[in-house]
């Protein structure tokens, strides 16, 4: 089934040229290729009435990128490798050629709704490395005078160009042996898919879906059926390490976070993203502050939203709870029943695209429940994750040697004799607001431990966008680790986010980084606090960060769903 050569040979250029959407004579990049391929498949299968595509997708080709760098002497800036902030500033000061500005003006004449400006680099979304989440995407309201709108578009394109050189992308290329000269950036300019809801522009539901799932919470889940992550509003939350609802398409009723009301509430989406049409900006809003608007504009709101009173979940229109003591949560509890057709269509779409591409696929889409309207906004090959052999855990391990143990969402894998374990102290993190200093200290150790598959342990979610929920490291600050451990302390409000299908987990799979979530206090989960307190350690560049030296084994048994990290000394 897997035949990378088939998709590699597909030429997307004609699709954009025929429609007058091509700007420049260069490469259109990976993201543009995926959309052109999807259009060809859906047209051939007569599915364009069932699954829409964005009404327009203009492609600023790599020729414009190369001209922009040359005209503004930006190669010199990039070679100097200054701080990324300086690179962005230099790109924003750059000027496009008059002919390019004229084409940008023509684009905005044809797009009067909010605009999405997306990266589409040459290496992005290819059959081996996705570069998912490494480059920039920008949304803006497309309001104001023509000149103001043009400047917003120019700035967004420049920022996407600049993101070619951000630290995460640089590290991803370094780790995978890719020279900078091999990468060039194209940019997609599209009408943002969504609806105007009283000045807030967003799609009702956004989703990221995958035709294969390799990390399963239950043997009832078939890896061939895939999964879908759903959020209310713009789709940034389906791929980032923030809350969205994960549905396994074998059985959409199974929750990876468990079925206890407290677990459901703690993993529920709390904010949604939209474009403010009055001011033209991308913004986020908390569900409780917008509850009146959400229930007014979405007839399906009771399928999405429930009340949580601290102990139980209640139907949105229930008279039982005291609403003054409750908070609304986006649990999506009734979505599988009320919108069963949505899940069937996603599953069918994944199967059709996988069959046509001859590779597992990863898609992003939007859905309007009242109109039963599905729009595909992205298609890429899903980098294939090789399932590792089962590692049976010895029954006679001395308890004092077990440093960490977890029993949820464990995949197969092992590391023997790791020489370093890095810990962000979960009892100190959060006591002071220097979250980003902690993240930078972790990043410095990651650089120093470049040639070791070390173990990285910390509270909550690694790479969280919200630093109160986990250490806000970026890809290049954990890229050399061999195993990531997330410690959940419910009383501290920090829990692992089982966000399989996000860019974060795609990176783990491609880079062969093992993952172990530990829910401290739950049966079968261990955090050996005494060992960490009594053993000597080196202090990192922040007092909350410690390095333990020794010989450590990681043993993950995905069949029995048990993972342990043990000291061999």
Q: Is residue 147 a contact partner of residue 24, using CB atoms and an 8 Å limit?
A: no
Q: Is residue 29 a contact partner of residue 62, using CB atoms and an 8 Å limit?
A: yes
Q: Is residue 169 a contact partner of residue 178, using CB atoms and an 8 Å limit?
A: no
pLDDT per residue as tens digits for the range 326-379:
899 999 999 999 999 999 999 999 999 999 999 999 999 999 999 999 999 999
Topology, domain 4-192: Dna Ligase; domain 1 (3.30.1490)
State the DSSP code for 470. Answer: B
Distance CA 235, CA 231 (A): 7
Q: Which residues contact 179 (CB under 8 A, 6 or more apart)?
A: 173
> What is the predicted pLDDT for the residue at 243?
79
Q: Is residue 41 a contact partner of residue 352, using CB atoms and an 8 Å limit?
A: yes
> What is the predicted pLDDT for the residue at 154?
98
The three-state secondary structure class of 163 is helix
Residue-by-residue pLDDT tens, the chain, 569 positions: 677 788 989 999 999 999 999 999 999 999 999 999 999 999 999 999 999 999 999 999 999 999 999 999 999 898 887 789 999 999 999 999 999 999 999 999 999 999 999 999 998 877 677 677 788 999 999 999 999 999 999 999 999 999 999 988 888 888 888 888 888 999 999 999 999 999 999 999 999 999 988 666 666 788 889 999 999 999 988 777 677 898 999 989 888 777 889 888 888 888 999 999 998 999 999 999 999 999 999 999 999 999 998 889 999 887 656 666 789 999 999 999 999 999 999 999 999 999 999 999 999 999 999 999 999 999 999 865 555 666 788 888 999 999 999 988 787 889 999 999 999 999 999 888 899 999 999 999 999 998 889 999 999 888 887 888 889 998 889 989 999 999 987 666 677 766 555 666 667 777 788 889 998 988 999 999 999 999 999 999 999 999 999 999 999 987 788 999 999 88
Domain ranges across the chain: 4-192, 200-338, 399-567
Distance CA 534, CA 539 (A): 14
Q: Which residues contact 347 (CB under 8 A, 6 or more apart)?
A: 225, 226, 249
């Amino acid at each position: 089934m897997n035949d990378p050569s088939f998709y590699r040979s597909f030429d997307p250029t004609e699709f954009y040229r025929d429609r007058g959407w091509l700007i420049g004579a260069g490469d259109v990049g990976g993201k543009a290729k995926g959309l052109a391929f999807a259009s060809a498949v859906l047209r051939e299968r007569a599915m364009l009435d069932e699954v829409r595509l964005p009404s327009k997708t203009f492609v600023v080709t790599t020729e414009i990128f190369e001209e922009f760098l040359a005209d503004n002497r930006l190669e010199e800036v990039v070679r100097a490798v200054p701080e990324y902030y300086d690179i962005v500033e230099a790109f924003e000061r750059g000027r496009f050629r008059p002919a390019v500005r004229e084409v940008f003006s023509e684009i905005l004449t044809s797009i009067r709704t909010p605009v999405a400006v997306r990266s589409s680099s040459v290496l992005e979304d290819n059959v081996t490395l996705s570069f998912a989440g490494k480059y920039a995407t920008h949304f803006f309201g497309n309001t104001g005078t023509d000149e103001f709108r043009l400047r917003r578009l120019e700035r967004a394109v420049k920022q996407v160009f600049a993101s070619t050189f951000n630290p995460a992308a640089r590290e991803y290329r370094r780790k995978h042996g890719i020279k900078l000269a091999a990468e060039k950036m194209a940019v997609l300019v599209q009408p943002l898919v969504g609806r105007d809801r009283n000045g807030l522009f967003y799609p009702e539901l956004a989703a990221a879906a995958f035709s294969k799932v390799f990390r399963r919470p239950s043997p009832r889940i078939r890896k061939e059926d895939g999964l879908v992550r759903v959020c209310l509003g713009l789709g940034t939350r389906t791929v980032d390490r923030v809350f969205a609802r994960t549905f396994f398409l074998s059985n959409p009723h199974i929750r990876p976070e468990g079925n206890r009301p407290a677990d459901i509430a703690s993993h529920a989406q709390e904010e949604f993203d939209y474009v403010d049409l009055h001011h033209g900006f991308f913004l986020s809003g908390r569900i409780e502050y917008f509850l009146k608007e959400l229930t007014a504009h979405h007839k399906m709101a009771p399928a999405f939203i429930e009340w949580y009173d601290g102990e139980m979940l209640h139907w949105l229109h229930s008279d039982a709870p005291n609403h003054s003591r409750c908070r609304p949560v986006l649990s999506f509890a009734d979505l599988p029943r009320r919108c069963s057709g949505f899940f069937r269509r996603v599953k069918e779409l994944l199967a059709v695209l996988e069959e046509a591409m001859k590779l597992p696929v990863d898609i992003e889409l939007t859905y309007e429940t009242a109109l039963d309207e599905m729009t595909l906004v992205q298609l890429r090959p899903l980098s294939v994750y090789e399932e590792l052999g089962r590692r049976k855990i010895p029954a006679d391990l001395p308890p004092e040697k077990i440093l960490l143990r977890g029993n949820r969402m464990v995949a197969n894998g092992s590391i023997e004799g790791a020489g370093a374990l890095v810990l962000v102290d979960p009892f100190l993190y959060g006591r002071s607001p220097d979250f980003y200093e902690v993240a930078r200290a972790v990043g410095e150790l990651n650089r120093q431990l470049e040639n070791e598959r070390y173990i990285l342990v910390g509270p909550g979610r690694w790479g969280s966008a919200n630093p109160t929920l986990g250490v806000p490291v970026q890809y290049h600050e954990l890229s050399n680790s061999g195993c990531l451990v997330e410690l959940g302390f419910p009383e501290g409000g920090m829990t692992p986010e089982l966000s399989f299908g996000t860019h974060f987990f795609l990176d783990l799979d491609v880079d062969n980084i093992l993952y172990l979530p530990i829910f401290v206090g739950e049966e079968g989960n261990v955090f050996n606090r005494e060992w960490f307190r009594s053993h000597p350690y080196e202090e990192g560049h922040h007092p909350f960060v410690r390095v333990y030296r020794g010989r450590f084994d990681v043993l993950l048994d995905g069949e029995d769903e048990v993972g342990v990290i043990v000291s061999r000394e």
